[in-house]
Structure 1
Amino acid sequence: MEEPIYLDHNATTPVDRRVLEKMLPYFCEVYGNAASIDHIHGNKAKQAVDEARQTIAKLLGCRKESEIVFTSGATEANNLALIGAFRKFRDKGRHIISSIIEHPAVLDTLNYLKCEGAEITLVPVDACGVIDLEALEAAITKETILISVMFANNEIGTIQPIKEIGALAKSKSILFHTDAAQAAGHEKINVYDMDIDLLSFSAHKFCGPKGIGGLFVRSYSPLIKLSPISFGGGHEKGMRSGTLNVPGIVGMAEALSLANKEMKAENNRLMEVASLICQRIQQTFPDIKLNGHPQKRLSHNLNLTIPGVEAKALIHLLKNKLSFSAGSACSTVKVEPSHVLKSIGITDEEAFQTIRLGLGQSTLDAQRIADALIQGILRIKG
């Protein structure tokens, strides 16, 4: 039987074979602890980490490679950014502003911070999922110390006006954090040009290995120091203790480098594939709705509401042909409708009739994908 086409790249991506080849020597040959710099084995590992850190820093527009703090992924990076910043700067204020459509890694962390005395304001978005900049500015108070808005949404693919948000935060001397898990490796990022102070990213979203990510922490205008949230060795300038994942770090740098080199061509290709799939389906079912911003969106994301068709039923019916998800992969264990979809005006019933197609390197046959979806929808509708 033919392998189903993988369409869940927003959830995770396969490791690029070129990335795997780059990683392999760091499992069995260069296996030293990067913190053990008193001997050759440790120094070789440290050199690999230093080179990877330098590569990633350059690709993100950092001024220094030391501005990159390695973590286990974007979830940990979000926790470190939000909790670390709040604990460090709460003597100046306790108010944090975010958006209503953030990933649970941000929303759950903000909810936790209420226990530590934080005051949280969640700003609304419009029908396309774009944050209301006027509402964002109006929410700022003398107590506001941090604004956290995701770069691109994991469900509907909408890209936020990050540069404008950064400029606003800068003008008010407020720290700006962005969860760029969905954007890194897919969109051009320059942290200084965009006035970003803290940026989270994760390798497995751009064909790197799972279990490795990072946090950009600005060191110039202003110099930012975070309170650590884990302890035991003082690694990563005291911000994140723990033995470094050398193979993962090497792989992440290679994956990000490849993604940036191939970004323009790949985005153009995926935009065309996504457009063909959407057009083909809507020709048969004109009432199918594309969610998110029609232009300012991730090229590899398609979020579709299919009236009269339960998403879970369609996923089950097509499991041998296509692998895709209903809404956010990180919240599929919940029975509640997506908070992102509800925030852009979609009803509970429509939310359960919504699917997410995450395209990627292996997505080649738009016609086959569209035909499979059409056949599945026709079977369910009878």
Structure 2
Amino acid sequence: MLPSPEAVLTPSAPIALDHQATTPCHEDVVTAMEPWWSEQWGNPSSRQHRLGLTAAAAVQMAREQISDCLSCSAEQLIFTSGATEANNIALLGHARAIARERGQPGHLISMVSEHHAVLDPLRQLQREGFRITLLSPEPDGLLDPKKLEAAITEDTQLVSVMLANNEIGVIQPLPEVAAICRDRGVTLHSDVAQAFGHIPFDSKGLGADFLSLSAHKLNGPKGIGALICNPGLTVEPLQWGGGQERGLRPGTLPVPLIIGFAKAAELARSDLASRRRRIERLRNRLWEGLKQGQPSLLLNGHATARLPHNLNITIAGVSGSKLHRALRSQVACSSGSACSRGEPSHVLMALGRSRQEAEASLRLSLGRSTSDGDIDRAIQAINKVVHQLRHKA
């Protein structure tokens, strides 16, 4: 018997402030996907009958809609299961292809503060003989472009820098990074999963050669994402099987998820400016309320060059495990990435936070459904828990 939501939810759900881990699927997205699960169930690769042709036409239309939101051509868009798969295709596929052309593995550059979906593929490439350089961010989480310039060598093949950090929300100077890479003839990849749908987005203006994204970060369905790949770049496939998606991502395309992705992208674009202003106001209200109650609170990441829905704070002098245990039933938040495997945040430690400080940190991320009441209750709950922990100590 499958579990029901009622069987796993607590009687009173905690305040949802973990929207950077994932977001609820928007009701309009669910409605858009509905007929493609049962009524229009065709395989878009089966084009010898109406069901297949209808599915293929729907996929193409969705591809064009998403591409329009991203300011790229439909031919550049390769559907994947999400940003993690897109990262792997770009990093492993391109690095191996260039190494094969040059006759030997080369040099790859990224940042210590990247998501594991970038760091782990790079570690695999290191095992295959590639040299890896991981640059440290400045104390505010941003990359100093001069460090990148100094790190590039004659055999540097690829640079990977995420646009917006998944933990501290800082927005990297990607156009400047792209200009450096372009001048040196180096390919640039960026994981933009946390940014697309939340800040103004122009893939051409960013200047990267590869961009990875996921629908579930912008109120779309889980299990679908995309890789934007500039024409002319050599990429070896990671798997083989049907030739779909330019041979880089074989397998039957999930039509309902693709339709949902397109709807989520359009919704995100339609209210981006007003939603951004509202969320930023609520985020600032949250910070001010917490800071007023806890003057020693530390902000992690640049104060302004950050996502409007992100707040990452360190609460010095308290036990991280006790803090999160006490908050669990009241506020849904995290101490770092959803993929951190329970370890202290490597991002916060890269900023200079100690292990204890990293454990006593909160990533609070707002979403479409976040209200003024949610913020007020979160301020009250967090300040109360911190006060109790400090007095018990």
Contact residue 310 and residue 354 of structure 1 kept, 8 A: no
**TM superposition score normalised by structure 2:** 0.93
User: Aligned pair count?
Assistant: 376
Separation in structure 1 between the aligned mates of residue 165 and residue 354 of structure 2, nearest angstrom: 19
2:181 corresponding residue in structure 1: 169
1:122 corresponding residue in structure 2: 134
Q: Structure 1 residue 111 and structure 2 residue 134: aligned?
A: no
Long gaps (5+) in structure 2: 1-10
Separation in structure 1 between the aligned mates of residue 273 and residue 146 of structure 2, nearest angstrom: 32
1:334 corresponding residue in structure 2: 342
Deviates further, 200-209 or 92-101: 92-101
2:308 corresponding residue in structure 1: 299
Q: Structure 1 residue 355 and structure 2 residue 362: aligned?
A: yes
Counterpart among 17, 34, 53 of residue 24 in structure 1: 34
DSSP-derived class of the 2:45 partner: coil
Q: Structure 1 residue 51 and structure 2 residue 61: aligned?
A: yes
- Please report how far the alpha carbon of residue 181 of structure 1 lies from its aligned counterpart in structure 2 after TM superposition: 1.1
DSSP-derived class of the 2:204 partner: coil
- Please report how far the alpha carbon of residue 106 of structure 1 lies from its aligned counterpart in structure 2 after TM superposition: 0.4
- Please report how far the alpha carbon of residue 350 of structure 1 lies from its aligned counterpart in structure 2 after TM superposition: 0.8
DSSP-derived class of the 1:177 partner: strand
Counterpart among 295, 301, 309 of residue 286 in structure 1: 295
Deviates further, 203-212 or 112-121: 112-121
Deviates further, 247-256 or 309-318: 309-318
DSSP-derived class of the 2:368 partner: coil
- Please report how far the alpha carbon of residue 310 of structure 1 lies from its aligned counterpart in structure 2 after TM superposition: 2.5
Q: Structure 1 residue 206 and structure 2 residue 206: aligned?
A: no
1:10 corresponding residue in structure 2: 20
Deviates further, 371-380 or 98-107: 371-380
DSSP-derived class of the 2:206 partner: coil
Residue by residue over 1:239-285, the C-alpha shift from the partner in whole angstroms, topping out at 9 and shown as x without a partner, is 11111011111101110111112111111111111111111111111
DSSP-derived class of the 1:28 partner: coil
Contact residue 312 and residue 326 of structure 1 kept, 8 A: no
- Please report how far the alpha carbon of residue 5 of structure 1 lies from its aligned counterpart in structure 2 after TM superposition: 1.1
Separation in structure 2 between the aligned mates of residue 304 and residue 107 of structure 1, nearest angstrom: 24
1:196 corresponding residue in structure 2: 208
Contact residue 98 and residue 234 of structure 2 kept, 8 A: no
One-letter amino acid matched to 1:349: Q
DSSP-derived class of the 1:228 partner: coil
Residue by residue over 1:100-151, the C-alpha shift from the partner in whole angstroms, topping out at 9 and shown as x without a partner, is 1100010000000112221111111101100121010111111011111001
Residue by residue over 1:142-184, the C-alpha shift from the partner in whole angstroms, topping out at 9 and shown as x without a partner, is 1011111001101110000011111111111211100011111
One-letter amino acid matched to 2:205: D
Separation in structure 1 between the aligned mates of residue 78 and residue 165 of structure 2, nearest angstrom: 23
2:71 corresponding residue in structure 1: 61
One-letter amino acid matched to 1:218: N
**Matching of residues 263-278 of structure 1 within 5 Å:** 263-278=272-287
Long gaps (5+) in structure 1: none
Contact residue 300 and residue 314 of structure 2 kept, 8 A: yes
**TM superposition score normalised by structure 1:** 0.96
Alignment RMSD (CA, Å)? 1.2
1:35 corresponding residue in structure 2: 45
- Please report how far the alpha carbon of residue 330 of structure 1 lies from its aligned counterpart in structure 2 after TM superposition: 1.1
2:199 corresponding residue in structure 1: 187
One-letter amino acid matched to 2:270: K
Residue by residue over 1:318-362, the C-alpha shift from the partner in whole angstroms, topping out at 9 and shown as x without a partner, is 22321111122211x333x21111111111111111111111011
- Please report how far the alpha carbon of residue 298 of structure 1 lies from its aligned counterpart in structure 2 after TM superposition: 0.6
DSSP-derived class of the 1:70 partner: strand
One-letter amino acid matched to 2:378: I
2:236 corresponding residue in structure 1: 227
- Please report how far the alpha carbon of residue 314 of structure 1 lies from its aligned counterpart in structure 2 after TM superposition: 2.3
